[in-house]
Every structure is written in C-alpha cells, then in structure tokens.
Amino acid sequence: MNGVIAHDDRVIHLDYGAVHLFVICLSQAGTILVWAE
C-alpha cells in the first residue's frame, strides 16, 4: 500500500493495487471531492 498525503488544496493519491483514489481537499470551500478510478 502506497500513500501520498498532502494538505491545503493538494491532491491525495492512495494506491491500492488496482484501485486508485484521488481525494482533493478544498479547505477554502470546506468541500471534499472524491474520485475513484
């Protein structure tokens, strides 16, 4: 399991084998958008 975590309007990329999750934390808007590929 590989994980790269960044903060403040950065992209969080978590690699789970064949599953890729892209989480963008928009601290200014207080919104979390999650994409699964």
- Whether 32 contacts 22, CB under 8 Å: no
- Whether 27 contacts 8, CB under 8 Å: yes
Three-state DSSP state, 27: coil
Report pLDDT for 7: 47
Give 1-37 pLDDT, tens digit per residue: 455 555 444 555 555 544 555 555 455 544 555 555 5
pTM of the model: 0.14
21/1 Cα distance (integer angstroms): 12
- Whether 9 contacts 32, CB under 8 Å: no
